[in-house]
Amino acid sequence: MEKAKVNATAALRKSALEAFNVGVAAADPEVALKRTLDRKPIPQIKSNGCYFIVSVGKAACKMANYFIKKLPEGSNFNAIAITNFENVIPVKGCEVMGASHPVPCEKGLFAAREVISRLEKATKFDIIIMLVSGGASALLPAPVNEISLHDKIHLNKILLVSGLNIYQMNLVRQSISRLKGGGVLRFAAPAQVHSYILSDVLGDDLSVIGSGPSIAPLGSVADARRLMINKGLFTKLPLRIRLYLENASIPKLPTESINAHLIASNSNSVLAMAKAVGATVITKPLMGDVQAAVNQIIDTLKSLNKTDSFAIAFGGETTVKIKGDGKGGRNQELALRFAIEAEGLFCRPWCFLSGGTDGIDGPTNSAGGVVDHFTLDKIRCAGGDINKLLENNDSYNALKLSDDLILTGATGTNVADLQLFIVGPLHSSF
């Protein structure tokens, strides 16, 4: 009986991992750009004009490579791509620069200065092409003159462990940046700006993706200051950031030059993953604290009360409030917490997967985790104390003990996270 359960569980895990790969493939930047450009061809430059291509984010190299190939024959262009070190690949006709993610670095600052320098050379005859994907916010740090990169890095570390959602974090990031929150529009004027955006943000708010470098901002400097005060975070900020948020005012953007196209999103990948295993898509995304997300999944499962085999698919982007100094990421912690809550609930084979479409979950080499009925026992048998590991935010090492890490390597795309639960036929109710 136990051997049959092992074999059945292994089959479910195989299906889940294959479906996850289908979901990631659905976010392939080249496929997404082709689909968009087939509908809306690349705008034509005027006489003596030039295409200024700026590609930034985890999909920057793939997006730049495809777009350059699709430029009208004989076009005058210059191109730059900035991506995380793991996704750096050569692109013909394009300068490629690597930078760190999720914490900014000096190389990202240098890349941002190069982007600004190129934008400032644009004329009314030119067209700026912005290719934006997830991760762009950290990869292109351009703090206002009053703030140092060190201050920016300190701010980013505060935001990453604050429990704030992506909208709130990017409001603050935009408020202290020269490029975020539409800054590209200022430097590029009077040239037209056309943006092609791969969304890693649930709801696909273009002003949030990559902190919206070529889109109107989420709010004002005053809004960012008010948020940090209300969340009890303002006094933790470096002095120069506090002073800037208290005194700065930003000139109005030339918003009439915004031309933005969403090319792919989390929902596309959730649908593709679900189709691969015949799963039902749960449209309410998994957002906020990881434990709340686990509770949402468990409640959904209990409400279904099905007797046959079934699968449900989610998309999301959860947050983890860091309390320990362990190693992990939101998908790994979500998977581990699910395994704990699911223990004893099911009398049939099951598995649960949570993975980041970029292949990188937190500061680890894992995309996430795929857990099942045997996960917790394997951790215990390997000498792991599950509660202590979780309290220390050490989900990576917990799932390493049970051999439940998802290891894809960097995928060259990013449309947030995918979650999938598959269960075998019911032999007794849970």
Rounded to 10°, the helix 149-160/166-175 angle is 170
Q: What is the pLDDT of residue 430?
A: 35
- Cα separation, 153 vs 158, in Å, equals 9
- C-alpha neighbours within 13 Å on the C-beta side of residue 334: 38
Q: What is the pLDDT of residue 308?
A: 83
Q: What is the pLDDT of residue 11?
A: 95
- Closest by CA position to 152, among listed 138, 164, 165, 163: 138
Mean pLDDT, the chain, whole residue set = 92
Quote the pTM value. Answer: 0.83
Strands 368-372 and 350-356: antiparallel
Q: Which residues of the chain have pLDDT under 50?
A: 428-430
Q: What is the pLDDT of residue 426?
A: 57
Q: Can you read off the two tokens belonging to residue 281?
A: 């898509």
pLDDT tens digits for 215-243? 988 889 999 999 999 999 999 999 999 99
Domains in the chain (CATH in brackets) are 2-26+267-423 (3.40.1480.10), 29-264 (3.40.50.10180)
Q: What is the pLDDT of residue 255?
A: 66
- Cα separation, 325 vs 346, in Å, equals 32
Helix ranges restricted to H, 305-411: 330-342, 375-381, 386-391, 395-401
Q: Which residue has the tokens 């979500």?
A: 334
Helix ranges restricted to H, 165-265: 166-175, 183-188, 221-230, 239-247
Q: What is the pLDDT of residue 197?
A: 97
pLDDT tens digits for 39-89? 999 999 877 899 999 999 999 999 999 999 999 999 999 999 999 999 999
